[in-house]
Amino acid sequence: MSLDIRRLDASQPDFVTQLDALLAWESVSDAQVQATVTGILAEVKHRGDAAVVEYSNRFDHVHAISMAELELGQERLQQALQGLPEEQRQALTTAADRVRRYHEQQKQESWDYREADGTLLGQKVTPMDRVGIYVPGGKAAYPSSVLMNAIPAHVAGVQEIIMVVPTPGGELNELVLAAAAVAGVSRVFTIGGAQAVAALAYGTETVPPVDKIVGPGNIYVATAKRQVFGTVGIDMIAGPSEILVVCDGDTDPDWIAMDLFSQAEHDEDAQAILISPDADFLDRVHSSIERLLPDMQRHEIIRTSLLERAALIHVSDLDEACRVTNRIAPEHLELSVADPQALLPHIRHAGAIFMGRHTSEALGDYCAGPNHVLPTSGTARFSSPLGVYDFQKRSSLIMCSPEGASELGKTASILARGEQLEAHARSAEYRILGDD
Amino acid sequence: MSLDIRRLDASQPDFVTQLDALLAWESVSDAQVQATVTGILAEVKHRGDAAVVEYSNRFDHVHAISMAELELGQERLQQALQGLPEEQRQALTTAADRVRRYHEQQKQESWDYREADGTLLGQKVTPMDRVGIYVPGGKAAYPSSVLMNAIPAHVAGVQEIIMVVPTPGGELNELVLAAAAVAGVSRVFTIGGAQAVAALAYGTETVPPVDKIVGPGNIYVATAKRQVFGTVGIDMIAGPSEILVVCDGDTDPDWIAMDLFSQAEHDEDAQAILISPDADFLDRVHSSIERLLPDMQRHEIIRTSLLERAALIHVSDLDEACRVTNRIAPEHLELSVADPQALLPHIRHAGAIFMGRHTSEALGDYCAGPNHVLPTSGTARFSSPLGVYDFQKRSSLIMCSPEGASELGKTASILARGEQLEAHARSAEYRILGDD
């Protein structure tokens, strides 16, 4: 079979324009979706459980009479875990242990220091009290996503982790429930959509209100999260998944083809890009793609993704590959080269960096340890992987000695009066010590 | 004069309801403002400098012909700094030095660790390339705000800090320009409103596009920031400023009254709350307020703020004061008590904590060192003061040894197949070492 994958050459004068066009992605903000979500949020805010039950019955085709029927107990989660085939249970536990160990390195501690006059300055770090994890139902129900969202919260010290997962047609995903057991989830409600986001943000008679909501969801969930932002914290709204592979030309082209497929199979909008200074290698990977694709279970999704959004980019050398990488700021970056550590100082923007020919991106999705919730669509320029720090917050600490307050008061007074804020100035001046 | 300030008592059965009503705050989302902002963003995105110049002429009543006229050079900033009275220049420099020293403690470093089989895991921390600082013009032009927004970016290692500040009627604020010089701002454009946010987010022929936009602004600026979020990062959208003072009853009531004024003078929506287990002390502070208020320059703003949004709350003891504090999650918290360190472990949610009778909140606004950009409206439950960490981002690092990739590949394969993601599984399986 022949597959017409886009080829770009960084030496062409219009390369940057072509690259920007390739990367362009705008999520559609639909007025109808906005209005529907606004209505659902208002109903749940005012009518609580009753509204959540009604929407769940309507959208998920379940037949609940009360919220009590839409909660799963810890014993149900344990039952799911124990019911897994040994191999799956072991893999889930191994993955959770590795993710936990990595994230423990991210935990931030309080600090303070004292100045010569006894004044103490510092920062107190505390976990959030309670957070909500949204887990999609149906086909996109990924147990790995439960681990990646819940474990950082657990490591941060969050006392209550509330998970919501819709059960379209009443269907439960045992792997997802098992992952919740392994990840330390406190309570699980089988609700989804904007109504679940509303329940978590505002609280109902049964669902306690949380401080932050994380996790992926469809356009209704994403829109609801945006609307409740401010009442609660939210994580980034993710775009389609992307991979950028930089290869020197010496990795098995089948490996690279499969790495590109592993992004493309997520959905038709996913983006897979390969950059190499070796034009022949681009051809060889192209051949591997054409040969391997027909046998893939998700070959239709992969084909559409590759045709619509993929590119094979030729560059003059690996330095240029790094410059193009920084412009793309990819979610996933594979440095499939002989000496990845030599390139690392030149990489400024990437969600996660997979170094060396053996480090396939798929390892990071499940069990290497780092989080698989990563900034998409170039947002790695200014944002970070989901982490423990997303479930901790900081309070500044200031404790002035009388002498310290007196000295600082003089400076504050001058600046406050420069801003015409007299009460600020006088409040500081009260603490200036007399000469007596 | 007599002033009717709200009194609450935590022992009353409806206390929580009354407290929630007191704290309720919703920013108005006006469809007209939304539409205006959407139009301005689109114009600047497509027509660049020309649109920015037109909007600046129209909204700021300036008479610019090109963007070149709307940029100030470094020499102009230095001129502003040198032109200040010695006392002001000294105060500004002292404040900047202290803010810089505190924020240097926040800088996060890259880390990594190696596992037994040689696999390396870690996190690379990098500064953003370029950020934008919005500074309001006119009355609300605060030089302290320039320091607090620009210095953390500078400490983070951001190479280009672009400041925008509108000049309504052409009026420049010398203190603001001097603060820009002290804080390490790279370039200053005298533009504001949604058009300035658009120029920073999308870039124009003259204004380079930034990765993140921070700083306070009016409703047009806040709406524009929300709309460009995703293209660039933004900071929190701030609500009205608030102070919560917890006092044991032994601080000079005039000091406490002035501390409350120092929030109330910001604007009519600002909120000042005092909590004490000493009912007589609440009376004494009330008397101080009535006595001190008439002489204040901003007495009308303060009066409105106190009447509309202030409260004096009686509690049974300091433990209860801490519980009420956590429910409020205040932006600024003063612990005006004999032993503030004894209370600290009980405080879970607050933007900044000012400890001891001598530590007035105003010191933190200008020169104590910690940032004065703090989470408002209860968002301290899930967010933090602006800091160096807001201008750094992280990339996960994963470099597997062949043996490590082989072992991880087995786990990843099982989990990927559990999620019906075959390409993920095969990509991992390629790296499983044979028995030979």
Here the ipTM equals: 0.95
Amino acid occupying residue A365: D
Packed helices B174-183 and B86-104: angle between N→C axes, nearest 10 degrees: 40
Domain A7-27+239-368 sits in CATH at 3.40.50.1980
Residues of B in contact with A347 (CB under 8 A): 124, 395
Which three-class secondary structure state does DSSP give residue B213?
strand
Local structure of B336: helix, strand or coil: strand
**pLDDT confidence of A137, banded at 50, 70, 90?**
confident
Note whether B202 contacts A: Cβ–Cβ < 8 A.
no
Q: Look at the block and give the residue holding tokens 């909007």.
A: B55
**Set of chain B residues whose Cβ sits within 8 Å of the Cβ of A412:** 362-363, 365-367
Mean pLDDT value of segment A376-401: 97
Decide if B345 touches A, using CB distance below 8 A: no
B121 torsion bin: left (phi>0), alpha (psi -120 to 50), beta (else): beta
Inspect the interface and report whether the beta carbons of B367 and A422 lie closer than 8 Å: no
Q: Which of B216, B85, B229 is nearest to B144 (CA)?
A: B216
Report the pLDDT value the prediction gives residue A239, as an integer from 0 to 100.
Answer: 85
Q: CA of B264: how far to CAs of B20, B241, B268, B306, B370, in Å? A: 19, 8, 7, 7, 21
Task: Give the pLDDT band (50/70/90) at residue B140.
Answer: low
* Residue A309 in this model has a pLDDT that exceeds 90: yes
Which of 3.30.499.10, 3.40.50.1980, 3.10.180.10, 3.40.50.300 would CATH assign to domain A31-112+128-234?
3.40.50.1980
> Is B331 assigned a catalytic role?
yes
Pairing label, strands A120-127, A392-399 = antiparallel
- Asked if the Cβ–Cβ distance from A354 to B258 is below 8 Å, we say no
Reply yes or no on whether the pLDDT at A412 is more than 60: yes
A chain contacts of residue B142, beta-carbon cutoff 8 Å: 419
Contact B139, B176 (CB under 8 A): no
Q: Is a pLDDT exceeding 70 seen at residue B139?
A: no
pLDDT per position as a tens digit, A179-230: 999 999 999 999 999 999 999 999 999 999 999 999 998 889 999 998 898 8
Sequence-distant contacts of B80-86: CB under 8 A, at least 24 apart:
B80/B172, B80/B174, B80/B175, B80/B177, B80/B178, B80/B180, B80/B181, B81/B177, B81/B178, B81/B181, B81/B182, B83/B174, B83/B178, B84/B174, B84/B175, B84/B178
Put simply, whether A296 touches B (Cβ < 8 Å) is yes
Q: Whose CA is closest to B180, among B206, B151, B158, B137? A: B151
Mean pLDDT of the region A378-402: 97
pLDDT digits (tens, 9 = 90+) for B147-185: 999 999 999 999 999 999 999 988 889 999 999 999 999
Question: Does the structure show a pLDDT above 70 at B1?
Answer: no
3-state helix, strand, coil in chain B (%, to 5): 50, 15, 35
Mean pLDDT over residues B414-432, rounded? Answer: 95
Catalytic residue annotation of A: 331-332
> Would the CB atoms of A422 and B265 count as touching at under 8 Å?
yes
Two structure tokens written together for A415:
């600046």
Instruction: Reduce the DSSP state of residue B276 to 3 states and report it.
Output: strand
Q: What is the CA radius of gyration of chain B?
A: 26
What pLDDT shows up at residue B230? 87
Nearest to A222 by CA among A392, A30, A56, A47: A30
For residue A273, pLDDT over 60 is answered with yes
Query: Where in chain A is CATH 3.40.50.1980?
Result: 7-27+239-368, 31-112+128-234
A291: contact with B, CB 8 A cutoff: no
Cα–Cα separations (whole angstroms), residue A41 to A27, A45, A173: 21, 6, 27
Closest CA–CA distance from residue B243 to any residue of chain A (Å): 12
Q: Is A79 on the interface with B (CB under 8 A)?
A: no
| Farthest-apart Cα atoms in chain B, separation | 93
CB atoms A411 and B367 under 8 Å = yes
Give the one of B113, B399, B426 whose C-beta lies nearest to A359's C-beta: B399
pLDDT score recorded for residue A429: 97
Q: For chain B, positions 261-290, list CB contacts with chain A under 8 A.
A: 261-262, 264-266
Q: Does A350 touch chain B (CB under 8 A)?
A: yes
CA distance A382 to chain B (A): 6
Residue B27: pLDDT band with limits 50, 70, 90: low
- B209 three-state secondary structure: coil
**C-alpha B409: how far from its chain's center?**
43
Write down the pLDDT at residue A189. Answer: 98
* Helix or strand (DSSP H, E) at B242: strand B242-247
Q: Which chain B residues are within 8 Å of A379, Cβ to Cβ?
A: 230, 233
Q: Which of B43, B242, B265, B331 is catalytic?
A: B331
The answer to whether B323 faces chain A, any CB pair under 8 Å, is no
